[in-house]
Structure 1
Amino acid sequence: MRTRPRSLALTAMAAATALALVACGGGNGANDPGLAPAEQQPQGVNDVNPLPRDQVRDGGDLRWPLDAIPDNFNINHVDGNLLENRFVVDALLPGAFTRQADASVALDEDYFTSVELTAESPQVVTYTINPQASWDDGTPLTWSDLQAQWQALNGTNPAYLPADTAGYDSIASVERGVDDKQAVVTFAEPFAEWRALFEHIYPAATNLDPDAFNTGWLTGIGTTAGPFRTESVDTTAQTITLVRNPNWWGEPAKLDRIIFRVVERSALADALANNEIDFYSIGSDVNLFARAQTIQGVTVRQATEPVYNHITFNGAPGAILSDPALRHALVRGIDRQAIASALIGQIVPDVEPLNQYIYLQGSADYVDHAQDVSFDPAAANAELDALGWVSPGPGQPRTRDGQTLTVRYVETTGNPISERIVGLTAAQLTAIGVNLERVPVASADLFDQYVTPGNFDMIGFAYSGSPFPIVSNRSVFVSGSESNVSRINTPEIDALFQQAATELDDAARTELNQQIDQALWEALPLLPLYQASGAYAVRETLANFGAGGFADDVYTDIGFTG
């Protein structure tokens, strides 16, 4: 899957990738046993074949398939904000916290000995850097690296093109603490999700120069500081090779190398069977799921994953779906359970639609707030009647004042998953008198020509969440944000996000987030469909790797048992 995460680290938001870039589906798979239902999988558990380091052999190459070489290896840049880039740079760059399987975060002690909220009025967070932490060129990692990153990402200099400024734009200063290994961060206004900051830290030289920030990591990887270092980036062979870093001060990596290689989705199963790669993401592809069960030495690992498919509505002034009552009526006519079951029911039996915007399935705070928009064709028809959209007969498009109720659904060409979702939605909406016009477009044109300019009524994406729901979601749903591609917002939602963003009490902030979710179900800027299966086909001998769920990979512990 090639997805733009809503948050990087997740700390910054960008528009998500279209379903055209998600795994393709097909096949019947009627006798496939499937995997455990998502609701039966304990919160806080992933499926990675966990083994102590002494049971993992030293050496070996992990061959990791990618959909594409990242557009920019600066993950903090708007063009670098891709999940595939994260797979690469997580092995190379410092960060303050790592994500855990239960959707919490933990201090990364390889880089920081402590990161603490040391004052609340004004808010101050003190970062104490591991004395051993240094860049591969021998330069120590210091407070000035954090200061430079804040200056690049705070939005005050238009020459920089960051993926997002969330949190960094709330900081008043980053100053030297007791020594060069301590940074004191003082906020101009409270920032509740401060742990989301400084997740992927780049050298000061990258962040002090806008040109270096924007273009310095376009075709290659600069100075890093991780358990691996870069050996090569070969755009011709479409490979990225990382090797164990001899200068690493922490637990040494078990693997000799990680070789990222671009592999077409249609070729993944054959590549794994032919011993060319060591795993692949199954996603919504029942064919890939069925093939995984036939490949010798391969197992399927699965854990609830914070990625979901959805339909975004265009609510811009003048758009047919600018009327929230009409959006509500259409949603009552869409059977999300049928869509979820059709797409991944063979992979995850008893799958349920996603009924939250803010907290995803697998989070302790996930609550179903979607009861008012449950599938009910009779209610949908009644609501459309009340809005004056008259039905000339069963299956015939409704009209009002001489206008046909036509909705343009933009879909990506050549993608079976996108085609299946749109096809099911079209049939369901036709049944309540909506003329759904399918508009096929090339995936390369989807964002520039359709999403960004608002050239759609309905459109499909995949979004990625994070342990930081405000950072992840705020720019998607508030007014005045370029990332709010639905153009749908309300003063209530804006105010609740502002209040939650500055609420330092965890319980109070969670309650505000639940209020935001309820308000979003009333506004309906988009319709969540189903959460990703989180299923992966993985070589049986691969340890500490597979279906990570909400957790980051621990690159030093990944390896083979034989």
Structure 2
Amino acid sequence: MSASARECNGTAKSGPVFRNPVTLAARRAARSLPDTLMGVPRPIRRLCLTIGALVSLSALVLSACTVSPPPAPQSTDTPHNMPPPPRPTQIIMGIDSIGAGFNPHLLSDLSPVNAAISALVLPSAFRPVPDPNSPTGSRWEMDPTLLVSADVTNENPFTVTYKIRPEAQWTDNAPIAADDFWYLWRQMVSQPGVVDPAGYDLITGVQSLEGGKQAVVTFAQPYPGWRELFNNILPAHIVKDVPGGFAAGLARALPVTGGQFRVENIDPQRDEILIARNDRYWGPPAKPGLILFRRAGAPAALADSVRNGDTQVAQVHGGSAAFAQLSAIPDVRTARIVTPRVMQLTLRANEPKLADAAVRKAILGLLDVDLLAAVGAGSDNTVTLDQAQIRSPSDPGYVPTAPPAMTTQAALALLAGAGYQIESNTSASTAPDATTPVSTGPPEVIRGRISKDGQQLALVIGVAANDPTSVAVANTAADQLRNVGIAATVLALDPVTLYRDALNNNQVDAIVGWHRAGGNLATLLASRYGCPALQTTPVSTAGKPPANPTGPAGPASSPGPDTPTPPPISTQPSRPPEPGALVQAPSNLTGICDRSIQSNIDAALNGTKNINDVITAVEPRLWNMSTVLPILQDTTIVGAGPSVQNVSLSGAVPVGIVGDAGQWVKTGP
């Protein structure tokens, strides 16, 4: 037996070996058994063990080369890990109503809300800033967010070059370009019922350079008021194709804008306008995310809304009680400000019945201006009477120039002197005679009758149907005239029809409506009283000023230097204007002009005479014409609560308190 065997059997070499005969016999018997395990021979068993080991090793290698599966997904609670985006800051501004429309260049759309919205969402070459040393209380400064520069680049012809910022664009990604300047110019010249277009009437061409980012504007003569042109520029590519176009396409929408804000929604039924920060604006972003212009309701409702913080800013019409309610709320600042519009009644002196200045003077003398102003203001204790022909009460140099009010007896005496028969029979029948046309309006006779050659003196007062304030004033004026025997009626028309067809077809004898305040005084004078503004005339693009229209002398019944000259007799042109030619629409609604003051008007427009001297010279003559009766300048209550900072209650008249709305900061809930 080997040594290892001995160790396994527990034997040692150190002692003698004793052999057990029984054990020895057993071992011998074991050697005689076959080499199997459970009947499997040992060689086969070894082969199976070897194959099993190889299979196990292969499985181990394959498992090592296999990519481990990703871990099982685990649920996460997103609201706790990512906070929701902050809500945009919204400032609520209380208003009376959203107004008649949103084209700031139309007389029928003039309103405080339209002026505010336009200043916030439309681009302007220059913007007004308060300046009490200027004739209108505002100084116009270039808007550097729209223009790189704007300079007079030539004196002959007078030329202004506007360089537009390359990044300036509308909210639909279209660039703000010279085409927009060109479009606004042509619309202001050719459309009736626009706001004081005399400056645009001087333009002879708008040229586009530098890929549309440079507008070169040429004028027929020097024009110092050029900085007030091209404000509230409209997107030409949109407005020209929208139904209604320039004249009516913006009555209820501003689909594309180009200012610090954009129009999010307009709801005429609820009198709400929501404007939002313009994310495409290339200049400094507006601080408020949203501004909601919302109908304020009755004075008590507005006071409650301001008191509990639901309304932060307000601009509304109201009397002394409404002002006192707002002023009594702690930490609420209040003020009264005038808006950029004045109301006037204009007589159409080109109508045969109104050709006599004495008749016009008598008709205006029969009107109670104080009552008309109270109706227009909505309250008799908040009236800002307008008693001058050219300046408005908001102008720093304004002084009342109106002659003393005429008594009813004096006015009737003027009519009697003009050949009218005055009947004061209070029980006169309202049935028309055979020579009186049947009217569907109010009764012609209420107290007495004023007639000539058997025909009762009738007056049709035209008014824009979308302006309830003007309609109310016109109805009150008609009531006053019917009270003395004049058959006065009110004809409420669509603005486009009123200022175009009704004037061309002599459907109205007078117009009640709003006009702009706070603009260039020389431009106002030329637009409303100038002789060139009387006729529809083709616009010359040769750079030469158009010749003054000529016409017959004034009526023989009104001789002397105060005689206004009627408009030229229209004649059929030998050749009609070419297709696409620019034709100037009349802006002088009176239908007449005084040629003796036209040289002063021209001198004020081109800057060769001081506007103050011109106003002093022409104001009395304009009153003697008796064509325009100024009534009032619109006035509103403004207030700002403690939760909004940087609200100025004394902004420039053309824009009001929203001129700095981009800087308003809401500090409270």
Map of 2:342 onto structure 1: 308
Matches within 5 A, 1:179-190: 182-190=214-222
Tell me the CA shift for residue 178 of structure 1. Answer: 8.2
Residues 64/480 of structure 1: CA separation in 2 closer, same or farther (3 Å cut): farther
Q: Which deviations, in whole Å up to 9, do the C-alpha atoms of 1:155-189 show, x marking residues without a partner?
A: 6998x999576444433444467897544323243
Map of 2:625 onto structure 1: 523
Map of 1:124 onto structure 2: 159
Q: 1:286–1:344: 8 Å Cα contact kept in structure 2?
A: no
Matches within 5 A, 1:174-253: 174-175=206-207, 182-203=214-235, 205-206=237-238, 214=246, 221-233=254-266, 239-253=272-286
* Consecutive unaligned residues in structure 1, runs of 5 or more: 1-57
Q: How many residues matched?
A: 491
Map of 1:375 onto structure 2: 406
Residues 345/139 of structure 1: CA separation in 2 closer, same or farther (3 Å cut): closer
Q: Which deviations, in whole Å up to 9, do the C-alpha atoms of 1:209-254 show, x marking residues without a partner?
A: 7989659867754543322234445677664432223444444323
Q: Distance in 1 between matches of 2:467 and 2:602?
A: 43
Tell me the CA shift for residue 99 of structure 1. Answer: 2.1
1:467 maps to 2:501: no
Q: Distance in 2 between matches of 1:110 and 1:92?
A: 13
1:325 maps to 2:358: yes
Range with greater deviation from structure 2 (107-116 or 488-497) = 488-497
Per the normalisation by structure 2, the TM-score is 0.59
Matches within 5 A, 1:378-397: 379-391=410-422, 396-397=448-449
Q: 1:75–1:200: 8 Å Cα contact kept in structure 2?
A: yes
Q: 1:304–1:549: 8 Å Cα contact kept in structure 2?
A: no
Which secondary structure state, in structure 2, belongs to the residue aligned with residue 91 of structure 1? helix
Matches within 5 A, 1:65-76: 65=95, 67-68=97-98, 71=101, 75=104
Tell me the CA shift for residue 360 of structure 1. Answer: 0.8
Tell me the CA shift for residue 202 of structure 1. Answer: 3.9
Tell me the CA shift for residue 256 of structure 1. Answer: 1.6
Cα root mean square deviation, aligned: 4.7
1:62 maps to 2:92: yes
Matches within 5 A, 1:434-473: 434-437=484-487, 439=489, 448=498, 452=503, 454-472=506-524
* Consecutive unaligned residues in structure 2, runs of 5 or more: 1-87, 131-136, 426-446, 537-584
1:114 maps to 2:171: no
2:664 pairs, out of 552, 558, 561, with 558
The one-letter code sitting in structure 1 at the alignment partner of 2:277 is R
Residues 380/238 of structure 1: CA separation in 2 closer, same or farther (3 Å cut): closer
Q: 2:127–2:142: 8 Å Cα contact kept in structure 1?
A: yes
Q: Which deviations, in whole Å up to 9, do the C-alpha atoms of 1:379-399 show, x marking residues without a partner?
A: 434433433445456975455
Q: 1:65–1:277: 8 Å Cα contact kept in structure 2?
A: no
Range with greater deviation from structure 2 (244-253 or 491-500) = 491-500
1:94 maps to 2:197: no
Map of 1:359 onto structure 2: 391
The one-letter code sitting in structure 2 at the alignment partner of 1:254 is K
Residues 514/541 of structure 1: CA separation in 2 closer, same or farther (3 Å cut): farther
Tell me the CA shift for residue 495 of structure 1. Answer: 3.2
Q: 1:119–1:125: 8 Å Cα contact kept in structure 2?
A: yes
Q: 1:486–1:526: 8 Å Cα contact kept in structure 2?
A: no
Q: Distance in 1 between matches of 2:497 and 2:330?
A: 40
Q: Distance in 2 between matches of 1:237 and 1:307?
A: 24
The one-letter code sitting in structure 2 at the alignment partner of 1:146 is A
Of the two structures, which has the highest relative contact order with CA contacts closer than 8 Å and spacing of 6 or more? 1
Which secondary structure state, in structure 1, belongs to the residue aligned with residue 123 of structure 2? coil
Q: Which deviations, in whole Å up to 9, do the C-alpha atoms of 1:12-33 show, x marking residues without a partner?
A: xxxxxxxxxxxxxxxxxxxxxx
Tell me the CA shift for residue 518 of structure 1. Answer: 3.4
Matches within 5 A, 1:401-550: 401-405=453-457, 407=459, 423=476, 426=479, 430=483, 434-437=484-487, 439=489, 448=498, 452=503, 454-472=506-524, 474-477=526-529, 478-480=533-535, 486-492=589-595, 495-496=598-599, 499-500=602-603, 502-505=605-608, 507-536=609-638, 538-539=640-641, 541-542=643-644, 543-546=646-649, 548=651, 550=653
Q: Which deviations, in whole Å up to 9, do the C-alpha atoms of 1:121-156 show, x marking residues without a partner?
A: 221213244566444566665xxx124421553269
Q: 1:273–1:296: 8 Å Cα contact kept in structure 2?
A: no
Residues 361/301 of structure 1: CA separation in 2 closer, same or farther (3 Å cut): same
Q: Distance in 2 between matches of 1:550 and 1:196?
A: 14
Matches within 5 A, 1:9-24: none
Tell me the CA shift for residue 199 of structure 1. Answer: 0.9
Q: Percent identity among equivalent residues? A: 22
